[in-house]
Amino acid sequence: MSENTSAAGGFIHPSPVPGQEAIEDVLHDCIAGVTRLCGNLVRPRWQEEAPRVPKAGVSWCAFGITNYDPLNFPVAEHSGEGEGHDILTDHENLTVLISFYGPGPVDQARQLRRSLHISQNRKILRKNGLAFVKAGAIVPVPEQVALQWRARVDITLTFQLVTSQIYAALNLKQMSGTLVSEQPQDGSRPGASAPFGCQACSRACWR
Instruction: Supply the range of the domain harboring residue 65.
Output: 6-167
Q: Is residue 127 part of a domain?
A: yes
Burial class (CB in 10 A: 0-12, 13-18, 19+), 137: exposed
Convert the pLDDT of each residue in 175-199 to its tens digit.
Answer: 777 767 666 666 666 555 555 555 5
In one-letter notation, the amino acid at residue 90 is D
- Tell whether 45 and 130 lie within a shared domain: yes
CATH code of the domain containing 84? 3.30.2000
Model pLDDT for residues 109-160, shown as the tens digit of each residue: 999 999 999 999 999 999 999 999 999 999 999 988 777 888 999 999 999 9
Round to whole Å and give the CA distance between 126 and 103.
31
Whether 40 maps to a domain, the answer reads: yes
Considering the domain architecture, whether residues 10 and 89 belong to the same structural domain is answered as yes
pTM for the whole thing? 0.76
d(CA 207, CA 195): 14
Report residue 114: phi and psi, to 5°. Answer: -70, -40
The SS3 assignment for 18 reads coil
- At residue 10, the pLDDT reads 79
pLDDT over threshold 50, residue 207: no
61 lies in the same domain as 148: yes
pLDDT for position 185: 60
20 assigned to some structural domain: yes
In a domain, 1, yes or no: no
